[in-house]
Structure 1
Amino acid sequence: MDDVIRGHASRVRAADPLVAGQDELPESVGEKRFAVRDAVGLASVDRINPASVRASWSPLVVHRLQARVAGPDPEAALGRLLDRWLHDLRVDGPGEALSVTWPSRDTVPVRALAVRGFAPVAAAAVRPLRWEGPVIYPWIRPATQGDAEALVRMYVRLVAYDAQFGWVAVRPSTPARIRESVAMEVLPLEWCWVAEVAGEVAGCVIVQPPERSTWIGRSVRTAPTAYLGVMYVEPSARGQGVGVALTEVAQAHAAAQGVASMILHHALPNPLSTPFWARRGYRPLTTQWVRHLQ
């Protein structure tokens, strides 16, 4: 088992030296470890309270697999592991889903996911940061309590747009939970800016500073890391450089605070965010492969 993890980590490191955490597979409460030839995995089930803020970001029941594969044929090894996992799966009802997150540049094994009905739905993308001086746009400013309702409105619209791609969802609880998050977390604890166009708030960017982004920071070898969780521009203000300006302000502030890299998630089928973030210098670190169960 240790040989498999070492072999997996060596292959991933050669493909992408930035990816961290591949040289171990610690088991937590509720996870089940299992192995096949040249592969080891941890299976878990995430059952999400439909009234929680997390309920907006995935199906309510997600079966997750963490996998490490090695040997002469990593695709075959991953296939054997997936087949064992799928065989042992206990599904309680419709609407459940499967999720496997994989290092994006470790492409050798991933055909095993595709031929079993998994599709890449989201990427965690990373960009190194370097302090190059302040970035100032007079129409971009730090968000205040007076912007709370505008932030909630844009946040909900972001969720609604990404819901088209099948993984996130606007639930009855979504507006209320986002309103609580903005009031209790975003405004007092995170970095948030708004853009004003023609005197109205027309865009926002929200960043979790390093002390709040350790959950994702452990996936990359550079530190400290910040997480860009929300960036939204109203349709009427798009095409005017608002998104670029918001991103530049957030990145400059993070770099001034000593942040070494920024991480974000974006939906791969999203025709707006995928090219936008690539042009901004973000590249895939890990890819989430999913399959919906009927």
Structure 2
Amino acid sequence: MDIAEPLLAAHRARFAAVDALLPPAAPPAEGQRLDVATADGTRITGVLQRHRSAPGDVTMLWAAADVRQLFPYFGATGTEGVDLLLRALKGVLEAEEIGDDSSCVVLWPSRDAEAIRAFLDHGLVPLSAVGVRTAPPVGAAPAVAVRRARPDDFAAALELAAATFDYTGLVAAPRRANTAELLAPALRDALAEDEPAVWLAEEDGEIRAVAHCAWIDATPGSEAAELLPPGRWGYVNNVVTAPGERGGGFGRALMAHVHRELHRGGASRTYLYYNPTNPLASVFWHRQGYRPLWTSWEVRPASALR
């Protein structure tokens, strides 16, 4: 989809100025155009996409069934531009019938404070963030037994992975009744292959924590390259410590091992998704050296957009 060249140039300049680690801004998305003008006559635009998921789609673990995602192009207009685009989106939504299992989402660079002001004013909250860690592994691992998971660990690992959604369902996206069924295929496949990898922390023969990870190559034109600088990245997909063992050091020991293994596999940097509203995860991952690069701002249901 074409947008005015000066606006696209301003959009890319904004990304470069906000955070040096951001990759070059992606080309304009396809979708419904929302065209507005600021008080001084500057023309800006947004692109609106709609994504619907079926009950068995894995995206239902973190997303609403009916998602409207806005891609803003507001250049140097800052808070005013974002405010105008969200007002235009509100007008679109008022003309539609919207269900309860719906959301409005904007994925935006985490350090753009001017945009954050407008997101908050319109009722969006930071439900998810892409966190990045650029430091190499350092130091010795704590004295906790960590090993590669095997296919016969499937049932225990799945039970632990599903259990964490009881907690995240309170502080982030609501827990789905079929959470275990949605998690199972990817976990089973990971246990059957060398990559992606699953590691376990144990004590007295019992699994205390699990980490489901992979290697991701951010190459030109790939989906990963829209979020991350080029190169091979370690992806930390899901890390869970048993509820009764949180704070006991199992997560720290497990991630010390995982970071070394991902580095050994060719990843000089690692990334993950976490919930800024999660009082455990937000502290844990920052202490592990991660910082937010992108934040997903969301309001549920979509009709609650102000």
**TM surpasses 0.5:** yes
Aligned amino acid, residue 44 of structure 1:
Q
Unpaired segments of 5 or more residues in structure 2?
Answer: 38-42
SS at match of 1:93: coil
Gaps of 5+ in 1: none
Contact 1:135 1:252 (8 Å CA) reproduced: no
Distance of 1:34 and 1:115 partners within structure 2? 19
1:139–1:146 CA distance, 2 compared to 1 (3 A): same
Q: 1:269 to 1:108 in 2, by over 3 A?
A: same
Within the candidate set 247, 261, 265, 2:273 is matched to 265
Cα contact 1:129–1:251 (8 A) shared by 2: no
Question: 1:57 maps to what in 2?
Answer: 62
**What is the rounded CA distance, in whole Å, between the counterparts of 1:229 and 1:21 in structure 2?**
24
Identity of aligned residues (%): 23
Pick from 68, 84, 88 the counterpart of residue 92 of structure 2: 88
1:33 — aligned with what?
33
Output the CA distance in 2 between the equivalents of 1:88 and 1:246. 47
- Runs of 4 or more consecutive aligned structure 1 residues displaced over 6 Å after TM superposition: none
- Which residue type is aligned with residue 75 of structure 1? T
Distance in 2, matches of 1:211 and 1:10, equals 25
Number of residue equivalences:
289
| Equivalent residue number for residue 130 of structure 1 | 136
* CA deviation profile, 1:77-133 (whole Å, cap 9, x unmatched): 111111112211333322211111110011122211111111111211101143669
Query: Residues 215 and 232 of structure 2 are in contact (CA less than 8 Å); yes or no, is this contact kept in structure 1?
Result: no
CA distance in 2, matches of 1:14, 1:187: 44
Question: Offset at 1:58?
Answer: 1.6
Distance change (3 Å), C-alpha of 1:274 and 1:187: farther
Q: What residue is the counterpart of 2:105 in the other structure?
A: 99
CA displacement, residues 224-283 of structure 1 (integer Å, 9 cap, x when unaligned) = 122211111112322221111111111111111221321111111111110111111100
Distance 2:97 2:131 in 1: 31
The residue correspondences of 1:1-294 to structure 2 (distance < 5 A) are: 1-22=4-25, 24-27=27-30, 31-37=31-37, 38-71=43-76, 73-89=77-93, 90-130=96-136, 139-171=145-177, 173-185=178-190, 187-188=192-193, 189-211=195-217, 215-293=223-301
Name the CA distance, whole Å, in 2 between partners of 1:98 and 1:57.
Answer: 13
Residue 284 of structure 1: how far off its partner (Å): 0.5
* 2:40 alignment partner in structure 1: none
CA 1:284–1:138 in structure 2 vs 1: closer, same or farther (change >3 Å)?
A: closer
Instruction: Tell me the TM-score normalized by structure 1.
Output: 0.90
CA distance in 1: counterparts of 2:299 and 2:244, whole angstroms? 34
Q: Quote the offset at 1:186 in angstroms.
A: 5.1
